[in-house]
Structure 1
Amino acid sequence: MFITPAHPPGPDHDAALLLLNAVESCYPIDIDERELHRRAAEMKQYYEELTSRLAALKQGERGIDERDFPEDRMYM
């Protein structure tokens, strides 16, 4: 399917699979969906890993007073 505001990173593979299933149920055609299933699983795994990385970062986040900054931050 096409990129939507709800899914800005790329195509919605799950929506494409639903559309293809609907087309197959209406017309006597056979569509090879293996690549779409593979890509959908890859994207799901990617976002699950991203979610866990962000959660780990949030847990380890320290306050501004606890961080170690250099004395002179003029060029940062």
Structure 2
Amino acid sequence: MKDKYTLDKLPLEESAVISSIDCNDCLINRIYDMGILTDTVITPLYRSPFGDPTAFLVKNAVIALRNKDSKYITVTPIK
């Protein structure tokens, strides 16, 4: 079984598959609107100089997520 951890812990340029999203209704709708769904591949591309937010590649789009929001997303790294 592969390790699972939250999206905010995923190293830059390491792709992972989203396993689960566990947050309140307001945030989950926003996350779904950005194309972040379970079984979707996501890759962190850049972090701001202070470490928050992080830019992610999701379905050929670059989106930014704050660390406090990405802690609700569990991922499984692609090895």
TM-score norm. by structure 2 comes to 0.22
Structure index of larger Rg: 1
Give the structure with the larger helix fraction. 1
TM-score norm. by structure 1 comes to 0.23
Higher relative contact order (Cα pairs below 8 Å, separated by 6+ residues):
2
Give the structure with the larger strand fraction. 2
